[in-house]
């Protein structure tokens, strides 16, 4: 993937260090550090200029399984967005909800809607392929197993390269929901992934 | 129907999702069934439309869409009547739509474990996870007639098929799970 596209996401690493944006009664995001689905929603909120109260939980202390979270999402998963009376889980659903509820600025380029929808639904493939490589490494799987996972990741990234083509962004000439959904999966664990991408793409 | 073609394969619940939506919206289409066993989903014709070599693929005029859930949403946008998204239920429908792969995966895990003749405790574990997953959907249904409130919706179409996959053994499975 293009390095230039990864750089803006450095901002996301700074977000937890900033003071939470001024409390906006009625819009609350519950999220956990290191979760790319959470980053997807944060990117969309930022791109749309929407203020929200940031509630960070700690996975290590099962902060995602508290009664407060379970009441909003029985699956005990984050991100969870509470927007007035609306509660949405599933990051991709939340991206789409935000697009419907706050159409400006739009993250769906004109005429590109089916393509954006499709890329959105394809994005878990990226997350899974990247995750599979790291899981194999962490489990110290045999080299041929690791090679096989890297090969699948290379194949997956190949689809996205072909989607990019000569475009600047994944769904044509404008940053879109599909960009937000994938930006984060690609950026997860930035440094080792860059290394991984270099290994994959030589 | 010149211009609207659905490429699909038998036994694929994602394909059924799109077929249900097309039928619910009263949209005519040319049906092109491929055979998975002879790699009909990996032909140049399919790969040209979907480089992943997966079905369903819908060609609607100049628009080509893969990913069944994306296709459901595309159809809702392009052909808003009759609507499959109840008024005021849009975030909920979107969320259920994105949750539906959990159902498909939980059901699939049980059947894979059975087909691989996994040890009983492994099978029990998968059935337990399926029971937990179905429990979420039971709570979503509550006293409603349909998953996203009082009207059949995209979320219904997406899950109807996952639940119906391999109907007979699944009914048995569901009975085992829900006693």
CA distance B175 to A84: 39
Percent of chain A with pLDDT over 70: 69
Contact status of A138 with chain B (Cβ, < 8 Å): no
Q: What is the ipTM of this complex?
A: 0.74
The B residues from 30 to 59 touching A (CB cutoff 8 Å) are: 51-52
Contact status of B66 with chain A (Cβ, < 8 Å): yes
Asked if A162 and B52 come within 8 Å (Cβ–Cβ), the reply is no
Sort out which chain B residues have CB atoms less than 8 A from A110's CB and list them: none
Residue B37, C-beta contacts closer than 8 angstroms, at least 6 positions apart: none
Closest chain B residue to A82 measured between Cα atoms?
B91
Would you state the structure tokens that stand for residue A78, as one six-digit string? 């984050």
Residue A14, pLDDT score: 52
Q: pLDDT tens track of chain B, all 179 residues?
A: 458 999 999 888 889 889 988 998 999 999 999 999 999 999 999 999 999 999 999 999 999 999 998 898 899 889 988 888 777 778 888 888 888 888 888 888 888 888 888 899 999 999 999 889 888 887 877 766 555 554 556 666 666 645 544 333 333 333 333 32
Sort out which chain A residues have CB atoms less than 8 A from B77's CB and list them: 113-114
Highest mean pLDDT, choosing among A55-64, A85-94, A126-135:
A55-64
Bridge partners of A172, per DSSP, are A169
- pLDDT of A50 over the 80 cut: yes
**Ordered DSSP codes for chain A:** --HHHHGGGHHHHHGGGSPPPPP-TTEEEEEETT-HHHHHHHHHHHHTT---EEEEE-GGGTGGGSHHHHHH-TT--S-EEEETTEEE-SHHHHHHHHHHH--SS-SS-TT-HHHHHHHHHHHHHHHHHHHHHHHHHHTT--HHHHHHHHHHHHHHHHHHHHHHTT-SBTTBSS--HHHHHHHHHHHTTHHHHHHHHHHHH-
The pLDDT of A16-39, averaged and rounded, is 70
If residue B74 lies in a helix (H) or strand (E), which one and from where to where?
helix B68-78
Closest chain B residue to A101 measured between Cα atoms?
B91
The pLDDT of A87-105, averaged and rounded, is 90
Closest chain B residue to A74 measured between Cα atoms?
B136
The Cβ-side half-sphere exposure at B175, using a 13 Å CA radius, reads 5
Mutation target to probe the B interface, by most B beta carbons within 10 A, among A37, A93, A99 is: A93
Q: Comparing A115 with A5, which gets the higher pLDDT?
A: A115
User: What distance, in Å, lies between the first and last C-alpha atoms of chain A?
Assistant: 12
- Average pLDDT value for chain A: 77
Q: How far is B147 from chain A (nearest CA, A)?
A: 15
Residue B28, pLDDT score: 96
pLDDT in tens, B109-121: 888 888 888 899 9
If residue B144 lies in a helix (H) or strand (E), which one and from where to where?
none
CA distance A176 to B49: 22
The pLDDT of A127-138, averaged and rounded, is 86
Contact status of A80 with chain B (Cβ, < 8 Å): no
Distances B29 to A46, B21, B58, B59, B117 between C-alpha atoms, Å? 41, 12, 9, 9, 41
The pLDDT of A111-133, averaged and rounded, is 83
Sort out which chain A residues have CB atoms less than 8 A from B63's CB and list them: 114
């Amino acid at each position: 993937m293009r390095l230039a596209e990864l750089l803006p996401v450095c901002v996301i690493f700074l977000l937890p260090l900033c003071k939470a944006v001024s409390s906006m009664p009625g819009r609350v995001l519950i999220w956990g550090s290191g979760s790319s689905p959470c980053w997807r929603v944060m990117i969309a909120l930022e791109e749309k200029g929407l203020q929200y109260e940031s509630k960070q939980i700690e996975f290590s202390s099962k902060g995602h399984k508290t009664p407060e979270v379970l009441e909003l999402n029985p699956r005990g998963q984050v991100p969870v967005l509470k927007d007035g009376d609306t509660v949405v889980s599933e990051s991709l659903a939340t991206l789409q909800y935000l697009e419907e509820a706050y159409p400006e600025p739009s993250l769906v380029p004109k005429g590109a809607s089916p393509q954006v929808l499709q890329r959105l639904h394809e994005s878990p493939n990226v997350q899974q392929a990247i995750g599979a490589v790291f899981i194999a490494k962490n489990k110290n799987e045999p080299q041929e197993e690791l090679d096989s996972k890297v090969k699948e990741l290379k194949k997956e990234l190949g689809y996205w390269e072909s989607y990019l083509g000569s475009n600047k962004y994944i769904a044509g000439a404008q940053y879109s929901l599909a960009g937000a959904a994938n930006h984060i999966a690609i950026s997860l664990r930035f440094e080792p992934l860059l290394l991984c991408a270099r290994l994959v793409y030589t």
